[in-house]
Amino acid sequence: MTQSRLTVTVPRMKSLPEPYPAYVAEALGTFLLVFAGPGAVVIDHVSGGGVGSLGIGLSFGLAVMAAIYALGHISGAHINPAVTLAFAAMGDFPRRRVPGYVAAQLAGAIGASAAHRALFGNVAALGSSVPTGGAGQALGLELIITFFLMLVVAALATDRRAVAGTAGVAIGGYVALAATFSGPIAGASMNPARSFGPALLSGTWTDHWVYWVGPIAGALLGALVYLAIAGVRAASPPVATVTAADERESR
C-alpha cells in the first residue's frame, strides 16, 4: 500500500518596497509601546491598583526593549518623534524620511489608544501625560530625562565603541527607570507620540505642549552633547538608517 503525501503550498507574500517596511515597523513598535505603557495605567485603574507604579514603569521599559529587539533591524525602532528628529540632527538619519517616520509613530500611538478605548472605555484619560506639579516643572523633568535617554540611544545606536548587543537592555532599562521615578510628577513621556495618542482619544489636552517641547528639546540637546563628548565616532552603520542608499545620503 503506497502512502501519498499531502503538500500544502503557502503563497509567499511580496515584500513591501522601501521605505514602507520601516514605516510599518515604526507604527507597530509605537503601538506596542503605547498599548503596554499607557495601557498599564488604564489597567491599573480598572483593576483597582493591580499594576502599581513599579509595574507601570516596567511596562514602558519592557515594551521599548521588545520593540528594539524585534524591529530594530528593520527601522531602527525609534518609536519616538523626538529620537527621529535628533538622529536627523546628528546626520545619522536622512531628513526626507522624517515625516514618514513621525506619521507612522503617531498612527501607531493613535491605534493603541483607540484599542484601549474600545476595550475599556475612556478611563484614566487612557494614560494621558498630564503634569501634577505644574507645566514648568514637568517641562524641566521631560527635558532632563529625555536628554539622558538620547545620550544612551546615541551611544548605542551610532557608535561602534559601545558594548554590542546591549541596546535593548540599556535603552529599555533607562525608560523603565525614568518612568518609575518621574512618572508620578510629569508622566515621564519622553515621547510626543506616546502622549499624543492618549490625548487625542481621551480629549485630554492639559499642558499637552509640554510633551512635545520638552522631549524634542531634550533629545536634540542629548544628541549634540554626545557628538561633543564622543569625538570621532567609530563609523557604525546606525540602526536609524532605512536603506543603504539612505545611509550614503545621510553622511
- Using CA atoms of 94, 95, 97, 103 in order, give the dihedral in degrees to the nearest 10: 140
Is 178 in contact with 149 (CB distance < 8 Å)? Answer: yes
Over range 82-109, report the average pLDDT: 96
The pLDDT of residue 201 is above 90: yes
Least confident of 85-89, 90-94, 144-148, 161-165: 161-165
Q: What is the pLDDT of residue 184?
A: 86
Summarize pLDDT for 114-143 with one digit per residue, the tens: 999 999 999 999 999 999 989 999 999 999
Domains and CATH numbers, the chain: 20-250 (1.20.1080.10)
Task: Read off the pLDDT band of 231 (50, 70, 90).
Answer: confident
The pLDDT of residue 168 is above 60: yes
Q: What rounded mean pLDDT belongs to the chain? A: 89
Q: What is the pLDDT of residue 185?
A: 85
Q: What is the pLDDT of residue 126?
A: 96
Annotate the chain with three-state secondary structure. CCCCCCCCCCCCCCCCCCCHHHHHHHHHHHHHHHHHHHHHHHHHHHCCCCCHHHHHHHHHHHHHHHHHHHHHHHHCCCCCHHHHHHHHHHCCCCHHHHHHHHHHHHHHHHHHHHHHHHHHCCCHHHHCCCCCCCHHHHHHHHHHHHHHHHHHHHHHHHECCCCCCCHHHHHHHHHHHHHHHHHHHHCCCCCHHHHHHHHHHHCCCCCCCHHHHHHHHHHHHHHHHHHHHHCCCCECCCCCCCCHHHHHHHC
The pLDDT of residue 241 is above 60: no
101-106 long-range contacts, CB within 8 A, separation 24+: 101/22, 101/23, 101/26, 101/75, 102/193, 103/23, 104/23, 104/24, 104/26, 104/27, 104/30, 105/26, 105/27, 105/30, 105/78, 105/79, 105/80, 105/81, 105/193, 106/30, 106/81, 106/193, 106/196, 106/197
Residue 147 CB burial class (10 angstroms; 0-12, 13-18, ≥19): buried
> What is the share, in percent, of the chain residues with pLDDT greater than 70?
87
Summarize pLDDT for 21-42 with one digit per residue, the tens: 999 999 999 999 999 999 999 9
Over range 163-169, report the average pLDDT: 86
Over range 196-207, report the average pLDDT: 97
Task: Check residues 159 and 129 and name the one with the higher pLDDT.
Answer: 129
Task: Read off the pLDDT band of 248 (50, 70, 90).
Answer: very low
Question: Letter for the amino acid at 78?
Answer: H
Q: What is the pLDDT of residue 4?
A: 56
Residue (of 74, 223, 71, 94) closest to 147 by Cα position: 223
Count of CA atoms in the C-beta half-sphere (13 A) of 122: 8
Q: How far apart are CA 95 and CA 104, in angstroms?
A: 15
Q: What is the pLDDT of residue 3?
A: 58
* pTM for this model (two decimals): 0.88
Summarize pLDDT for 67-84 with one digit per residue, the tens: 999 999 999 999 999 999
